[in-house]
Amino acid sequence: MTDKPDLVVAAARGTSVGTMAEIGVIGGSGFYSFLSGAETIEIDTPYGAPSEPPLVGDLDGREVAFIPRHGADHRFPPHRVNYRANLWALRELGVRQVLGPCAVGSLKPELTPGTFVVPDQYVDRTWGRAHTVYDEAPVVHTSAADPYCPTGRATVIAAGNVVPDGTMVVINGPRFSTRAESQWHAAQGWSVVGMTGAPEAALARELALCYTSIAVVTDHDAGIETGTGVTQDEVFAAFKLSIERLRELLRTVIAQLPKPDTDCTCRQS
């Protein structure tokens, strides 16, 4: 295992394995065939192993590292994902810009299944997860007022056919919301509900990584719809229908992402 360095300067230090990729994608296992000439990189972190060893390969001339958030066989429920290890591993590979597509439920009638939302805010309602890399002295407080990368968000929005803002409330899971919880979330004016957006975004900020979420609506949440409520099978089926569109969006965005900017607010966190 990598020796745990002084985490106060971890975000500024060089990588231990050399720069192998500039862009990272944390998503579903449906992206395994996304890259050409892909190589699996065995890597460990101060927090243990990532969900899977990163896959590094070429996408239209850009070097990309991919990690399936829940593991290749979807074995990690959202509250058991090793978010710290996933993001640390990407940084070790040289990644500075991360795209985090995720499945969400809609809290607004107009956000129908198949809609892509680019959130600009999130509300963290999770508990029991490791929320920081700064869990040892000295205490470090990182600004999260604007939790997503402005450059990454602008690039995704410019690619078109997305809802350009919204608030994602992140619940612990793995169960879905009760109707009362869903109605409460909607009453706050929040847009979508997911299970993996936190602490992923906050950890990326602590590691000075540019992080952009792309929320894929798979269903209307329990307080918005009628009937018996959403099921896992319905969510998986809806996400599968959106995979090809998401892949094409990511391909466009990755091609257009600028080189990492050291002046980006994410890099100065």
First-to-last C-alpha distance (Å) of the chain: 26
Per the listing, tokens 């394995």 go with 17
| Contact indicator for 152, 214 with CB cutoff of 8 Å | no
Q: Which of 120, 221, 261, 263 is catalytic?
A: 221
Q: Which of 219, 233, 261, 263 is catalytic?
A: 219
Label residue 29 exposed, middle or buried (CB < 10 Å: 0-12, 13-18, 19+): middle
Task: Find all residues with CB under 8 Å of 3, minimum gap 6, and list them.
Answer: 46
Decide if 73 is catalytic.
Answer: no
Decide if 124 is catalytic.
Answer: no
Phi and psi for 232 in degrees, rounded to 5? -60, -40
Q: Rg (Cα) of the chain, in Å, rounded? A: 18
b/e code 95-131 from CB counts within 10 Å (16+ = b):
bbbbbbbbbbbbbbeebebebbbbbbbbebebeebeb
Nearest to 196 by CA among 220, 218, 177, 213: 213
Q: Catalytic residue numbers?
A: 219, 221
